[in-house]
């Protein structure tokens, strides 16, 4: 008798017994429906380096529609040279003194790239004509920066008059990111937001959103004399990890004290509740949260957090947590890289590809978007600053189902079945593409027993993986490699075996 077990969403916070989804979805991408896709491995894009681990990166098109990529190390700022793809130092002559616990943030406004690290004055460069970064202003330092309408907005500030004011936001003159003198005429000003702890992130656009430790505030432009109206939309809800914040397609994603959230149209959705929040808390190393990075996969509608797992004794990020914001589903991945960012590809010629030695060594196919200028793609760096694109072979994937009382499932299809045990004789994986698939089964008599998977079985000429397991409860593990494209579920060949 055959039983169909489709792959549901990954639900590690639910019990394994009768789990409505899967208990493991590793090195896979949650698809647009009830299936998983392979997660491509990072492939070398530019064999360049930085003098320290990367702290931040931004990519943009300048006023002439040329693509630029900028990055920060601890003490210097760089741009990626379009001819060599190497990092080129374009720091101000004095360099920078970024504190180890701080980071860099970037924004783009009026053709300028603006960066801040709290330790030094905010920096800027003209993306079209600039050759080096320089001080944007000496009137304020800040941890966070964004572009809000016609203003550059910073949050969690330090200035020579008031010192450190972690609950303050401050903005430039309207239409002039270089002017930070308070003025009713230019509308440059500040606002202290009380009752929510320190500012953890500022998100720009037509309206601004300020994420504090325990408060979420909306900024709406109203003009002089008030300039902005500040409205608290959530009290006792906020952002616990500043490095977890990202926005895409009108949505803001972040990690709060009690889990992951998505905010859209000022409505909070606890996207990890009952799904991954408890799992993440148990499997992440909180001491390494300052090295978390988050990026958007624009092609698959994914948010990907890269963080240090509980097994990362040195706090180096080593795991992906992946969220499909179209379907609300999750998965995980192992990371050989340590930093994620969203990049725009620089234009390449065949002559420029000579740096790889031969066409066989070129890391992505010649029709890949990473070779045409201005194309958005998910990028990564290791701690040396070498750049990677996710265009390599599929990573070795693992999917594990929930645990099911097989005999009870058979009884729903076979009249007269009364036993509570079943013999599983084979599994047929429902996988598209030229996949190498191995299937294992775990059988238990009681739910309290440890899960022990048996010897793996591969697909025979009839599309089945021969297996034998006589037990009350069964679960299944698929290991996938090769050129597979979608994994939808498994078909089980089982018969009832008794009442004991």
Closest C-alpha among 486, 485, 491 to residue 459: 491
Does the N-terminal peptide bond of residue 392 adopt cis geometry, omega within 30 degrees of 0? no
Quote the pLDDT of residue 1: 74
Quote the pLDDT of residue 349: 45
Average pLDDT over residues 214-233: 96
Average pLDDT over residues 456-466: 95
- Which residues lie below 8 Å from residue 107, measured CB to CB, with a gap of 6+? 58, 113, 114, 145, 146, 147, 152, 204
- Please compute Rg for the chain using Cα positions: 26
pLDDT digits (tens, 9 = 90+) for 62-96: 999 999 999 999 999 999 998 889 999 999 999 99
Confidence of residue 353 (pLDDT cuts 50, 70, 90): very low
Quote the pLDDT of residue 376: 83
Placement of tokens 């977890």 in the chain? 244
Retrieve residue 122's tokens: 């905010």
Segment (H or E) for 169:
strand 163-171
Confidence of residue 280 (pLDDT cuts 50, 70, 90): very high
Helix (H), strand (E), coil (C) string for 239-288:
CCCHHHCEEECCEEEEEECCEEEEEECCEEECCCCCCCHHHHHHHECHHH
- The yes/no answer on whether domain 43-389 falls in CATH 3.30.300.30 is no
- Which residues lie below 8 Å from residue 202, measured CB to CB, with a gap of 6+? 144, 145, 146, 148, 153, 154, 155, 169, 208, 209, 210, 211
**Residue 497 and residue 469: Cα distance in Å, rounded?**
11
- Report whether pLDDT(325) > 50: yes
Average pLDDT over residues 214-240: 97
Neighbours of 315 (CB within 10 A): 15
- Report whether pLDDT(350) > 50: no
Quote the pLDDT of residue 492: 95
**Residue 1 and residue 165: Cα distance in Å, rounded?**
68
- The yes/no answer on whether domain 2-39+396-498 falls in CATH 3.40.50 is no
pLDDT digits (tens, 9 = 90+) for 174-198: 999 999 999 999 999 999 999 999 9
Q: Distances in Å between the alpha carbon of 29 and those of 26, 39, 139, 146?
A: 8, 6, 45, 30
Residues β-bridged to residue 208: 219
Quote the pLDDT of residue 419: 72
- Report whether pLDDT(48) > 70: yes
Quote the pLDDT of residue 2: 85
Placement of tokens 């000022």 in the chain? 266
Q: Domain residue spans in the chain?
A: 2-39+396-498, 43-389
Confidence of residue 246 (pLDDT cuts 50, 70, 90): very high
Average pLDDT over residues 289-310: 96
| Ramachandran area for residue 328 (φ above 0: left; ψ -120 to 50: alpha; else beta) | left
Fold match, 2-39+396-498 / 43-389: no
Quote the pLDDT of residue 352: 47
Confidence of residue 499 (pLDDT cuts 50, 70, 90): low
Percent of the chain past pLDDT 90, that is, above it, reads 85
Placement of tokens 């993306």 in the chain? 127
Residues β-bridged to residue 493: 2, 426
**Residue 235 and residue 238: Cα distance in Å, rounded?**
8
Residues β-bridged to residue 223: 227
pTM: 0.92
């Amino acid at each position: 008798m055959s039983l169909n077990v489709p792959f549901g969403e990954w639900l590690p916070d639910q019990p394994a017994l009768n789990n409505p989804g899967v208990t493991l979805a590793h090195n896979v991408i949650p698809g647009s429906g009830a299936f998983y896709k392979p997660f491509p491995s990072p492939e070398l894009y530019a064999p360049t380096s930085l003098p320290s681990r990367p702290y931040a990166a931004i990519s943009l098109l300048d006023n002439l529609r040329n693509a630029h990529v900028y990055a920060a190390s601890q003490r210097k700022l760089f741009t990626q040279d379009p001819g060599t793809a190497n990092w080129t130092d374009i720091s101000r002559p004095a360099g920078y003194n970024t504190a180890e616990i701080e980071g860099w943030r970037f924004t783009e406004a009026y053709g300028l790239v603006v960066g801040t690290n709290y330790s030094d004055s905010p920096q800027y460069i003209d993306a079209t004509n600039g050759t080096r970064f320089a001080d944007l202003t000496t009137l304020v330092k800040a941890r966070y920066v964004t572009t809000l309408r016609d203003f550059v907005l910073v949050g969690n500030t330090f200035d020579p008059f008031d010192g450190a004011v972690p609950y303050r936001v401050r903005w430039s003159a309207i239409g002039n990111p270089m002017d930070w003198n308070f003025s009713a005429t230019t509308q440059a000003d500040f606002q202290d937001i009380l009752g929510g702890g320190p500012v953890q992130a500022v998100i720009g656009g037509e309206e601004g959103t300020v994420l504090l430790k325990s408060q979420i505030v909306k900024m709406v432009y109203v003009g002089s004399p008030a300039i902005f109206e500040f409205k608290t939309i959530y009290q006792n809800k906020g952002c616990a990890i500043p490095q977890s914040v990202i926005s895409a397609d009108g949505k803001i994603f972040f990690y709060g004290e009690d889990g992951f959230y998505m905010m859209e149209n000022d409505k909070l959705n606890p996207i990890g509740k009952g799904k991954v929040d408890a799992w993440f808390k148990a499997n992440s190393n909180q001491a390494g949260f300052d090295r978390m990075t988050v990026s958007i996969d624009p092609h698959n509608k994914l948010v990907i957090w890269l963080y240090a797992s509980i097994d990362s004794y040195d706090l180096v990020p080593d795991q992906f947590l992946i969220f499909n914001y179209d379907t609300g589903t999750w998965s995980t991945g192992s990371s050989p890289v340590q930093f994620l960012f969203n990049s725009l590809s620089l234009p390449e010629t065949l002559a420029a590809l000579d740096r790889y030695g031969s066409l066989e060594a070129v890391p992505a196919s010649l029709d890949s978007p990473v070779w045409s200028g201005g194309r958005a793609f998910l990028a990564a760096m290791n701690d040396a600053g070498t750049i990677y694109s996710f265009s390599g072979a599929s990573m070795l994937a693992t999917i594990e189902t929930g645990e099911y009382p097989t005999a009870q499932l058979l009884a729903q299809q076979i009249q007269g079945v009364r036993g509570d045990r079943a013999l599983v004789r084979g599994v047929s994986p429902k996988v598209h593409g030229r996949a190498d698939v191995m299937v294992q089964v775990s059988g238990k008599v009681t739910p309290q027993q440890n899960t022990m998977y048996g010897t793996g079985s591969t697909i025979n000429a009839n599309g089945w993986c021969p297996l034998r397991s006589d037990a009350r409860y069964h679960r299944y593990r698929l290991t996938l490699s090769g050129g597979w494209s979608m994994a939808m579920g498994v078909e089980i060949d089982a018969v009832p075996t008794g009442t004991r």
